[in-house]
Amino acid sequence: MSTGSLFDSETPSRPTPASPDAPLPERRRPRTLAEYAGQQHLIGPEGVLRRYLNAGRLPSLILWGPPGVGKTTLAHLLAQELGRPFAALSAINAGVKDVRDVIERAKRQPGTLLFIDEIHRFSKAQQDALLGAVEHGTITLIGATTENPSFEVIPALLSRAQVYTLEALDKDVLIDLINKALAEDEVLKRKKVRVDEYNALLTISGGDARKLLNLLEIVVQAASPAPITGEIVITDAVVQQLAQQHLARYDKGGEMHYDVISAFIKSIRGSDPNAALYYLAVMLEGGEDVKFIARRLLILASEDVGNANPNALLLAQSCFQAVTVIGLPESDIILGQTVVYLATSPKSNTSYKAIREARALVRQQGVQPVPIPLRNAPTKLMKQLGYGQEYQYAHDYPGNFVQQEFLPEQLSGTTFYHPGDNPAEHKIRERLRQQWGEKYGY
């Protein structure tokens, strides 16, 4: 099912089986919602999308999940179930004009469902072009994305659509896909195939059903049948031997994506610039989104470097802005500089731990009353009640500091922030000790 044409059909019907020459994932694409694998939290008997279908309607929605879990297929099947006119665009090659053409045609076809694959690749202008049509119900939008919609979809469009998360397919679902393909596919069922071990198939495909079926077909076609029985026996060793290229390749949408970004962050946290640069290179060579990398650096700069080197956050913010404007290939220089700087900076997670402890306390104890001297007094009554009257203005005192109580009475003396063991925070600790004495234990 292509997402390149504007209108796939006026009234979607059950798709015809794919050609035997088509790749296995296409041959095994579900033709009804009953054949769809996984995502029972959405389309099962109690699933939210099932309830919408039973009511004969569908809101605009964004399907967020990893590759190969069925986002595109689900969009087509939802349109098919409702018998709605269906239009499809790919954010890779569609422009604002294409969006407007769909909207104009949808005005003549009430109830049109527009599917946009990889909606996170749409520019702000392209997303803006959708707003009016979505708001007025000219189209029902289904967007598919592997990226967090909160970062990649403009707030105005996000507020007009429901976000539903598609989960990675679990082991049992994936094994069932393998067994059904071998038993039902017109090409594979002509061969004598027995699967003795599934682990390599599942590990290499990383939970991506499309990759899994492609890999299965490669293995079946390339494996040598037993001389006497003619049977093809699939074991982990056979799969690994035939799929070494898959093992060595970085897949920005698969399991290795998460492994590499994890190793990248841990290398910077562990102050190893060489390892960090290696994993950065792996991601760049694999086509990883530079904004994704820069966003993780921005988080790390605060979480792991923190006040041991406050300039780290400023550099990471500048890095994010720069790569957003510049893009590849030149962004690799900026990313490389930032990675080296963060990896070689002193580290502290004390601010990160402090806000986590403070929030945990608020969740546990609730919100305590603000001390009366700190309260605002915009009315006469509040002034009569003493709001703000005993507040001491710090700038009126030597060194712009005076000891007074800022925490609620029940929390007086509670310490959340404990300066780390690094030169910058040694100075912070000494200053806090001079100002607060023994109150906070500094």
pLDDT digits (tens, 9 = 90+) for 331-390: 999 999 999 999 999 999 999 999 999 988 888 888 888 888 888 777 777 777 777 788
The segment with the largest mean pLDDT, out of 92-106, 115-129, 353-367, 371-385, is 353-367
Percent of the chain topping pLDDT 90: 16
What is the C-alpha R_g of the chain?
Answer: 29
Q: Which CATH class is domain 7-165?
A: alpha beta
Q: Which two tokens stand for residue 22?
A: 């088509």
Digit-coded pLDDT (tens) for 229-287: 888 888 888 888 777 644 445 555 555 677 788 889 999 999 988 989 989 998 888 78
Mean pLDDT in the chain? 83
Phi, psi of 377 (to 5 degrees): -130, 70
Give Cα separations from 227 to 54, 235, 338, 439 (angstroms).
Answer: 54, 17, 58, 82
| Domain over 255-344 is classified CATH 3.40.50.1470 | no
pLDDT digits (tens, 9 = 90+) for 430-439: 989 988 998 8
Kindly tell me if the per-residue pLDDT of 30 is higher than 80: yes
* DSSP-assigned states of every residue in 240-291: HHHTHHHHHS--TTSHHHHHHHHHHHHHHHTT-HHHHHHHHHHHHHTT--HH
Q: Comparing C-alpha atoms, which of 50, 38, 120 is closest to residue 78?
A: 50
Per-residue confidence (pLDDT) for residue 48, from 0 to 100: 83
**Shortest CA distance to 152 belongs to which of 108, 120, 128?**
120
Terminal alpha carbon distance of the chain: 65
What is the structure's pLDDT at 100? Answer: 84
Contacts of 278 (CB under 8 A, 6+ apart): 267
* pLDDT for residue 8 is more than 70: no
Q: Is the peptide bond before 329 cis (omega within 30 degrees of 0)?
A: yes
Q: What confidence category does residue 308 fall into, taking pLDDT thresholds of 50, 70 and 90?
A: very high
Residue 409 one-letter amino acid: E
pTM for the structure as a whole: 0.53
Q: Can you name the residues that pair with 194 across neighbouring β-strands?
A: 233
Residue 91 reports pLDDT greater than 50: yes
Q: What is the pLDDT of residue 337?
A: 95
| Residue whose tokens read 């915009």 | 378
* Residue range 48-52: mean pLDDT, rounded: 86
Single-letter code of the amino acid located at 22 = A
Q: Best-predicted range by mean pLDDT among 39-48, 144-153, 289-298?
A: 289-298
Position 9 pLDDT exceeds 60: no
Residues 6+ apart with CB under 8 A from 205: 68, 174, 211, 212, 215, 254
Q: Which CATH class is domain 171-248?
A: mainly alpha
User: How much of the chain exceeds pLDDT 70, in percent?
Assistant: 92
Domain layout of the chain by residue ranges: 7-165, 171-248, 255-344, 371-436
